[in-house]
């Protein structure tokens, strides 16, 4: 790639082929000449590895490795270290993204090199009730943190953009945390990274049941939550780790093997996925065109 890479889209995946095809088809269409796609595949055996290799061979994705991972954090850290972009954007294979909104965030960061991280409002739904979309916001928590009322706050990394050189200060994901994004948000804010809040929506989180946490994982999540709260002086709010775990972890949402011919969680046929995701992409694009949004800076 001859151009300076402004943005790296990073994806860590394993045995998620039905979702991965939808996500990459959209991303490849939206990709700009100064952007790259980096994929870390955890040695999939559902056809994902071959699908990704085909895209790599024709230049539609720019970096690809397929090998076993120790856990999710390990996979995402590989992708971060491989990325060449000035800005990094995590793309989760079964969530939905608004690429025009992401580019607005990217452009703001490029014009303002002191900004380490941008986060945004969030949309969320359940795959089985995909038209019941809820709006989420961490704005009040951001404001308290910005004004020095609280030393740390939580946010989902699904709508985070991070400057690659800021990793030298913030660090990579902790491979010892099950809820790696929860710990990462606390660490990022506690270390007083320069976080900017975008009032639009650059991502829509899609939850789906059928991914069952073991008692051990639930217990571990609770223990790690107590530890993280102590380390980062986190007082808790509506996104304490128990709620976060219900929404996002379900211990293996990203990792449970599935063949392409399987139904997706609790009997939803694969052939319905395209229709559902078309609706969700139209929804997030539409809501971002309904009004003007702004960037709220820390200082």
For residue 200, the domain's CATH number is 3.90.550.10
pLDDT at 244: 45
Instruction: Look at residue 96 and tell me if it is in a domain.
Output: yes
Instruction: Look at residue 74 and tell me if it is in a domain.
Output: yes
Instruction: Look at residue 1 and tell me if it is in a domain.
Output: no
DSSP 157-194: GGG-EEEGGGHHHH----TT-SSHHHHHHHHHHHTT--
**Spatial distance between the Cα atoms of 230 and 219, rounded to a whole number of angstroms:** 17
Tell me the pLDDT of the chain (299 aa) as tens digits.
457 999 999 999 999 999 999 999 999 999 999 999 999 999 999 999 999 999 999 999 999 999 999 999 999 999 999 999 999 999 999 999 999 999 999 999 999 999 999 999 999 999 888 999 999 999 999 999 999 999 999 999 999 999 999 999 999 999 998 889 999 999 999 999 999 999 999 999 998 753 333 334 677 778 888 888 899 999 877 555 444 444 444 333 433 334 333 445 444 555 589 999 999 999 999 999 998 999 999 87
Give the range of the structural domain holding residue 96, as residue numbers without chain letter. Answer: 7-296
Tell me how many domains the chain contains: 1
**Spatial distance between the Cα atoms of 116 and 192, rounded to a whole number of angstroms:** 10
Instruction: Look at residue 231 and tell me if it is in a domain.
Output: yes
Instruction: Look at residue 2 and tell me if it is in a domain.
Output: no
For the purposes of burial, counting CB atoms within 10 Å of the CB of 220, is it exposed (0-12), middle (13-18) or buried (19 or more)?
A: middle
Residue holding tokens 């699908």?
A: 51
């Amino acid at each position: 790639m001859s151009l300076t890479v402004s943005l790296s889209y990073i994806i860590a995946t394993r045995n998620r082929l039905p979702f991965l095809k939808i996500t990459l088809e959209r991303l490849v269409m939206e990709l700009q000449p100064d952007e790259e796609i980096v994929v870390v595949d955890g040695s999939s055996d559902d056809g994902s590895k071959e699908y990704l290799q085909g895209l790599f061979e024709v230049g539609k994705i720019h970096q690809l490795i397929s090998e076993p991972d120790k856990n999710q954090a390990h996979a995402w850290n590989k992708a971060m270290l491989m990325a060449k972009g000035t800005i990094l954007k995590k793309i989760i294979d079964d969530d939905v993204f608004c690429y025009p909104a992401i580019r607005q965030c990217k452009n703001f960061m490029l014009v303002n090199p002191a900004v380490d991280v941008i986060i945004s409002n969030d949309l969320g739904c359940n795959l089985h009730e995909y038209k019941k979309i809820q709006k989420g916001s961490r704005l009040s928590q951001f404001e308290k943190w910005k004004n020095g009322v609280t030393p740390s706050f939580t946010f989902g990394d699904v709508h985070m953009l991070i400057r690659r050189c800021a990793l030298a200060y913030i660090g990579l994901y902790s491979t010892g945390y099950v809820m790696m994004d929860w710990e990462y948000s606390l660490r990022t804010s506690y270390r007083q990274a320069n976080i900017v809040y975008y009032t639009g929506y650059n991502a829509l989180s899609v939850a789906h049941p059928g991914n069952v946490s073991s008692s051990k994982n639930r217990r571990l999540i609770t223990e790690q939550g107590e530890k993280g709260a102590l380390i980062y002086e986190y007082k808790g709010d509506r996104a304490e780790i128990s709620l976060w775990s219900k929404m996002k972890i379900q211990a293996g949402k990203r990792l449970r093997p599935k063949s392409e011919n399987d139904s997706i969680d609790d009997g939803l046929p694969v052939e319905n996925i395209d229709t559902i995701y078309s609706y969700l992409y139209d929804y997030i694009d539409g809501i971002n065109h309904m009004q003007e949004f702004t960037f709220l800076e820390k200082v």
